[in-house]
Structure formats: C-alpha cells, structure tokens
C-alpha cells in the first residue's frame, strides 16, 4: 500500500507524527540604494496581501505606520484560500488584480519563474519595472519598509528595528515565532492527538512567558515599540476570533490574560493599526479551511468588544 504525506491547501506539510511543518519562502531579494537591480523608487513596487493572513498583515501595518501608502501600491486578495492559492475578487474589502488582470497570486509566481514549483503565498512584493517578485518573506519585507524608503516616507523618523535594540528584538522574535506565531498553526493543523497536545502545551507555555514579560515592560523590548510587537500583534488579534475555536487553541482566550489583553488593546487602539484589522476576512478565511472546518460554517461569535476598552499600559 502506498502512503502519501498529506498537504494543506497552501502546500504546507504534515510529518509522520502528524505535526505541521511550515515551508520557507523562497524569494529573498532586498531593496536598497546600492542594490544593482532593486532600488527604492516612488510607485515602483506593489504589495499583495491577504487580510486573513498574519504574515501579510505585518507588512501592511509597517507600510502604513511608515507612511508609504503613496509609495507602495496595495492589492488585497480574497479571504478564502483555495487549492490554487489566493484569488483576486470584488468581495467586500478585496480587489481585482490592477496590473495584469490575473485571476490569482499564482500567476505572479509563474510570471517570475515559469518553472516555479513552490507555494503560492502572500505577502508578495512585486517590482513593476522588472516584472518579478522581489520578496515574499514577511519578516524581510517589514525591514525593507522600515528603512529602504525613508526618502519618500511620511514618517521616516519611525524606526521599528533600531540598531541598539536589534539583538534583543531578534532574540524575542526567535522565541515568539516557533512558540506562538507558528505555534497556533502547529496546534490547529496537527493530525494526531500527540502532535496536537505537544503543540498546544508549547503554545500556551509561550503565551504564559510573554504574559509574565509584559508584566515588567510596556512592550516586548522595554519601553520601545518595535517590529517585535507588530509580529506578535498579528497573531494575538486573530487568537480569540479564529485560533481559539477553529484551531482548538482553547486553554484560554487572550482576553483572559491580564497583561496580554491590555497590551493587545493598546496596539489595536492605535488608529493606523486598527484600520488594518478586518475580522470578516479573518474569520471568513480561517473558517473556510476545509481540513479543520469541513462544513465551512463561520461562527457569529466571539464577542470582541473588550478590544475597545481603554488600555492602561504605561
């Protein structure tokens, strides 16, 4: 009997223990004044995102915080991820492809490389001059946005990755990514009880540790708001709405953590960040994942009104 390794709609794989393992993004070019190909220019680059996806959400937040809306174009794909990847649509909050009239993101991958055989993921940072994908790794894109376009940015003084905090930012990112950012996926996509329980305990141990950390400092790296906070925020804001229910991350909701919930409220209540959050896309996207919710029913709850209660962080 031949066995195959099951795959999810986005191409990620499950190992023999039933554990979820995320594949790495493969386009890693940078944009810089000294780059021979990709130089910072006004209206040269276009960002494709999903408002469902926490990785893509990071890039949108940094783009907007830096004031790059007039520099980097934006297209939002449909909230539902299918077997062929992300599609363009005219549903509420989504947009059709403005550059080539493509049906979906995968066509941008094939335009870049006709032999491409990887995943069709977002975010995608596209270069309109060379007609190629510059980068599809969110952690790199946010650093490109943080520094490469300061000559055009409305908020060039904002530095989300200052040199004197870089080591500490990297350290906390390296902890939060496997334990929390990807931890919710390892929990939700586990296909055996053992893999689920292992991921579940790691996830909540991670949240407990960050809860304690935030009892001692306003942000993840002392009193300075950095990229680390944005990277955590995009997971936390989806937790009660999607991960707690659909991914069975249900020991606690974020609103039950005194420090995490207060911290989440502070970030959410920043107007520029709040404007990037779309719970219709978040819930519609996650609850359309057939491998974990085969009937596709989107719950009416939970009540997320606590997010608007004034925070007391200082």
CA dist 75 and 98 (Å) reads 8
Q: How many CB atoms lie within 10 A of CB 102?
A: 16
76 is in an annotated binding site: no
CA dist 220 and 172 (Å) reads 8
Spatial neighbors of 31 by CB under 8 A, at least 6 apart, are: 38, 39, 40, 45, 134, 144, 148, 149
138 is in an annotated binding site: yes
233 is in an annotated binding site: no
CA dist 182 and 80 (Å) reads 20
CA dist 274 and 267 (Å) reads 8
Q: Is 53 a catalytic residue?
A: yes
120 is in an annotated binding site: yes
Q: Is 26 a catalytic residue?
A: no
Which runs of E-coded beta strand occur in 1-108?
13-14, 20-21, 45-49, 72-76, 81-82, 85-86
121 is in an annotated binding site: yes
* Residue whose tokens read 């594949």: 23
119 is in an annotated binding site: yes
Q: How far is CA 147 from CA 33, 63, 158, in A?
A: 11, 11, 9
Catalytic site residue from 45, 108, 185, 243: 185
- For 32-62, letters b (16+ CB in 10 Å) and e give eeeeeebebeeebbbbbbbbbbbbbbbbbbb
Characterise 101 by phi-psi region: left (phi > 0), alpha (psi -120 to 50), beta (else). left
Catalytic site residue from 53, 196, 243, 286: 53
**Residue 125 · residue 30 · CB < 8 Å:** no
CA 233 to chain CA mean position, Å? 9
227 is in an annotated binding site: no
CA 268 to chain CA mean position, Å? 15
- The β-bridge partners of 221 are 224
Active centre residues (catalytic): 53, 185
Residue ranges for the known binding site are 86, 119-122, 137-138
Residue ranges for the known binding site for glutathione are 86, 119-122, 137-138
């Amino acid at each position: 009997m031949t066995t195959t390794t099951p795959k999810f709609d986005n191409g990620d794989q499950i190992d023999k223990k039933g554990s979820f393992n995320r594949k790495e993004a493969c386009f890693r070019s940078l944009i810089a004044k000294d780059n021979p190909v990709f130089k910072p220019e006004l209206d040269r680059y276009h960002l494709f995102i999903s408002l469902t996806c926490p990785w893509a959400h990071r890039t949108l937040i940094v783009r907007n915080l830096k004031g790059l809306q007039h520099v980097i174009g934006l297209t939002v794909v449909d909230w539902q991820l299918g077997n062929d990847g992300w599609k363009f649509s005219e549903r509420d909050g989504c947009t059709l492809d403005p550059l080539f009239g493509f049906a979906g993101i995968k066509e941008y991958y094939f335009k870049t490389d006709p032999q491409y055989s990887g995943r069709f993921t977002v975010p995608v940072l596209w270069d309109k001059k060379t007609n190629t994908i510059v980068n599809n790794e969110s952690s790199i894109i946010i650093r490109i946005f943080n520094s490469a376009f300061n000559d055009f940015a409305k908020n060039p003084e904002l530095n989300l990755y200052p040199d004197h905090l870089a080591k500490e930012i990297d350290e906390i990112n390296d902890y939060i990514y496997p334990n929390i950012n990807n931890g919710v996926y390892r929990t939700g996509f586990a296909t055996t009880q053992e893999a689920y329980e292992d991921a579940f305990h790691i996830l909540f141990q991670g949240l407990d540790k960050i809860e304690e950390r935030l009892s001692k400092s306003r942000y993840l790296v002392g009193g300075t708001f950095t990229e680390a906070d944005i990277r955590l925020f995009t997971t936390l804001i989806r937790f009660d709405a999607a991960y707690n229910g659909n991914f069975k991350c249900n020991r606690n909701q974020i609103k039950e953590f005194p420090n995490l919930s207060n911290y989440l409220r502070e970030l959410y209540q920043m107007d520029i960040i709040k404007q990037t959050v779309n719970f219709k896309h978040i819930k519609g996207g996650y609850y359309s994942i057939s491998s974990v919710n085969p009937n596709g029913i989107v719950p009416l709850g939970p009540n997320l009104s606590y997010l608007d209660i004034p925070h007391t962080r200082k």
